[in-house]
A = this chain, B = another copy of it.
Amino acid sequence: MRVEDLDTPAVVIDRRIAEANLRRAQKRADALGVRLRPHIKTHKLPLFAMRQVEFGAAGVTCQKIGEAEVMADAGISDIFITFNIVGRQKLERLLALHRRVTLSVVADSADTVEGYGGVFTDPSRPLTVLVECDTGGGRCGVQSPADALALARRIASHPGLRFGGLMTYPPRGKVAEVDAWLHDALALFRSEGMDVPRVSVGNSPDFYADQAFTAATELRPGTYIYSDRMQAAFGHGTLADCALTVLVTVVSRPTPDRVILDAGSKALAADLSPSPGHGYIVEYPEAVITTLNEEHAIADFSGCAARPAIGDKLKIIPNHVCVVSNLFDTVNLVEDGEVVEQLPVAARGRMG
């Protein structure tokens, strides 16, 4: 089937662009001398997780146990869940997962550590726990290297747990500050004779930045596989590196300049980008998607020389691609305009 024969809205992934993005990232990690551990939240597909590992990734990163379970089912053997896992039901699932794969998790509080310690009690197969550090991102994380050390000691005090190192989700564009925080922590741990096996640093926007995280032993970009309008606006590649588009149909042209597309926030998500509007229309770069309702995109074509006809199919590069992956049950892989594979988004909607 040709792409243009797909019913809309549909997610279309250019496999060659995606694979080129995967190879380039692995090269980048190799050049930096760090391990690549891609975040699967962007694609949520076993196929691409396996490709990432084939290309050299050390394993994958997941945010939810449900995502990790899907990846384990698909044969991924090394999974890092960068989330404080709290509550009896989740801890039991975590224990079951730990029996199947090489698993690591994070903690930023004594409560979380005690939760792990209460369930993981086998010294012959300890759970690896990294300390999540708030290096300026303002989300989770211990607030100082001293707090990181105290929590690492608490982890190490449990026979069924193993201190795995430090993890942070850094604020974008603050490489020097984040690096300084981590080096301070590493110096403190060293002065206390405590080994830090891994220093895992996240995010896509800084992955290709001129300045690298020198404290990191592992990087966890996610969005780079598809890229999106936000990444391009941040200067990370161009729109030509965007592998995922949403195919839509023009369903109405109520005025000369207003064009209505059959994809709203239920397909494109309402996330904003530094660029104007709710996505980039490939065929009409000057068009601006001014409003998204749930099932309609309202676009202003006043800046365009031509206008599409009702029934025309157009491709949209979304502002934020990860959230789009979570909205569709199926994606279409294409090569040269031909649909070569239709895949269920296996880790979509895994909430817990």
A interface vs B, CB < 8 Å? 7-10, 41, 63-64, 83-84, 86-87, 89-90, 108-109, 111-112, 115, 134, 138-143, 249-255, 258, 260, 262-263, 265-267, 269-271, 291, 293-296, 298, 309-311, 322-323, 326-329, 349, 351-352
Contacts and interface: CB of A to CB of B under 8 A. Distances in A.
A298 B254 contact: no
Contact of A329 (B90, B111, B266, B349): B349
Given A7-B87, A64-B295, A254 B352 contact: no
Contact of A323 (B108, B109, B265): B265
A140 B295 contact: no
Nearest to A295: B63
Given A9-B351, A86-B251, A86-B310, A270 B267 contact: no
Contact of A251 (B83, B253, B294): B83
Given A139-B296, A140-B260, A255-B143, A352 B7 contact: yes
A139 B249 contact: no
Given A64-B295, A115-B311, A328-B349, 18 more contacts: A10-B352, A63-B295, A83-B262, A87-B249, A108-B252, A108-B254, A109-B253, A111-B310, A112-B251, A139-B296, A140-B252, A140-B260, A141-B254, A265-B271, A266-B323, A267-B351, A269-B270, A327-B349
B323 A294 contact: yes
A4 to B, nearest CB: 11
B143 A109 contact: no
Contacts of A115: 311
Contacts of A311: 86-87, 111, 115
Q: Is the interface of A mostly helix, strand, loop or mixed?
A: loop
A28 B139 CA distance: 45
Contacts of A271: 265, 270
Q: What are the 7 tightest A-B residue pairs by CB atom distance, in nearest-first order?
A: A111-B310, A140-B252, A84-B251, A7-B89, A63-B295, A86-B251, A7-B352
A86 B140 contact: no
A111 to B, nearest CB: 4
